[in-house]
Amino acid sequence: MADKDAVMASEQVLQVPFVYSAGPVASRFLIGLRDERKVYGQKCLPCRKVHVPARARCGWCGEALTEWVEVGPMGTLMNFTVVHYSEPVHPAAAPFVIGVVRLDGADTCLVHVVRAEPETLKVGLRVQPQWARERRGHVLDLEAYLPA
């Protein structure tokens, strides 16, 4: 007979599709990707740091960010990892590379897909954007970064 005080754990995968408002800051960032094929960040006037992706407040000093600046499109691969398993929410089929890219002119990094064979990658590699043919106002309008 089962113990009436036993606790059982059961793993389940839930997928909940939803629509959300990106808000004014993220919307401006996504519109730049979609309509202009440009990456915009926000510059903190007091501490001069440029944030990408754009955000409402400075991560260093907490000041509200109001100055938009274009960054990149080139960048430097600061770190990366190879993803060896697939999930429906992944941006690519496994194996694929996720990289930490610091765009020229930015002080923060963007985590994004890097399309290259892992053995060809190294920290410090220069990368360039590959734009999606059809853009829809999503971070994957910038489809991936490629070795420059």
pTM, two decimals, is 0.85
pLDDT at 97: 98
Across-strand partners of 110? 101
Question: Is the distance from CB of 130 to CB of 99 less than 8 angstroms?
Answer: no
- Cβ neighbors of 66 (< 8 A, separation 6 or more) are 42, 45
Integer angstrom CA distances of residue 112 from 67, 146, 147: 24, 11, 13
Report the C-alpha gap between 106 and 41 in whole angstroms. Answer: 7
CB 27 within 8 A of CB 5: no
Mean pLDDT per 10-residue section of the chain, whose length is 148 residues: 73 79 93 97 96 94 96 97 93 96 98 96 98 95 97
63 half-sphere exposure, CB direction, 13 A CA radius = 15
Which residue is listed with tokens 């929410």? Answer: 89
* Bridge partners, 101 (sequence order): 77, 110
Query: What torsion do the CA atoms of 84, 26, 14, 11 make, to the nearest 10 degrees?
Result: 60
Neighbours of 84 (CB within 10 A): 8
